Structure 1
Amino acid sequence: MKKIVIATKNAGKIREMKAAFSHLPVEVVSLASFGSLPDAVEDGATFEANARIKAHFFCGETGCACIADDSGIEIAALDGAPGVHSARFAGVHGDDAANNAKMVAELEKRGLDASAADYRCALVFEDTDGTILTADGRVDGTVRLTPRGEGGFGYDPYFYVPRDGGEEKTMAELTLAEKDAISHRGRALRELVKQLERYFGK
């Protein structure tokens, strides 16, 4: 059975991958299984480049096949920013409140109360023999100054998507099942699963 390390210590992502790959001849493990490892230097200009960097780095560090992801939001009015810098837009990695406050301030600076935007996710699988598979997911929506919803994380309360009947909901207002059906990560993961099924002859 092929061991695949997921380049994250996020328990939610690990559970998601385990469920998605449960029908494949693979054992999914997290980086936490390998003790203290250095961080990959994510200096790519695109989501795919960063995911490739992480997959290659941790494949080498662990000696196992690896899957890595990189994701973020691209806001049209900000010329595609924050893009690959989404998690550290305000300067501190993973500070959702500060990142959202900066996004709102940047829109207000331009006299805007909304902008077209998209969420992107790149997933990269690298095997120990150098085989690489890539998948990309995207969801288009609108960022607005007013947050709604208690779910999700990151920019979700500000990211509005059209629903049935023309109504808009934020990603933070959707159920987990609704979000997975349309999310950038959900779409990328389903595409990668198809490629892994072919790769493993399933």
Structure 2
Amino acid sequence: MCVTALTLVLGGQIFAGQAVARDYGQQGAVWPVIEPDLLQQIHARLQHLEKTGETARLNEDLKRRTIARVKRPAPVAGIVPASVMRRWNFDPTIAVEADIRDDKGRVIMARGTRVNPLDTVPLRAPLVFLDGDDERQVDWAARRYAGTTAKFILVNGAPLDLMKARQRRFYFDQGGKLVERFGIRAVPATVEQQGRVLLVTEQAIRPKPGQQP
């Protein structure tokens, strides 16, 4: 680039910079930005709740609701008393979705390998799903599995009250994850191992003579 051309370019940039820096004056009133401090607001709110006793009331209400949920969890939706026997096999086999490697990068289980958890971790005790508010179901399970290590799992009812009354441990299928997994729609239902599969049975209970169905 020649000296004359360079001079014109630099001169143009200088003039352009001067044009951008022009002072247009004040166009309107300006106020400082003032916002309340969020932490101070929260602190003030907490102090108010403490002084009025609202904090204690909220804590007591939370405690009461928590105890109620522990004593009687929300029932599993969609589960009904079994009216007929229904039985099927459940195969827990899964296919490995990706290569599993050891700490040295060696493949110890290739993608697509089929694995049955029962080969290494057998189901040592039957799982018995019950409506804890149905005394017939609880009586049936207590008689059939007396002296065994069967796990009684409720889909409805108060497990702590039953533990005290029956002197054995009761569990609860929180959120219905287990019955959904096994496809159970009615109780009482049992899950027992037979070889490399699980036998799932929904068992209808016949009422005793003179007993309401």
The two structures have a TM-score, normalised by structure 2, of 0.22
Pick the structure with greater CA Rg. Answer: 2
Between the two structures, name the one with larger relative contact order (CA 8 Å, sep ≥ 6): 2
The structure richer in strand per residue is 1
* Structure (1 or 2) with the greater helix fraction: 1
TM-score normalized by the length of structure 1: 0.23
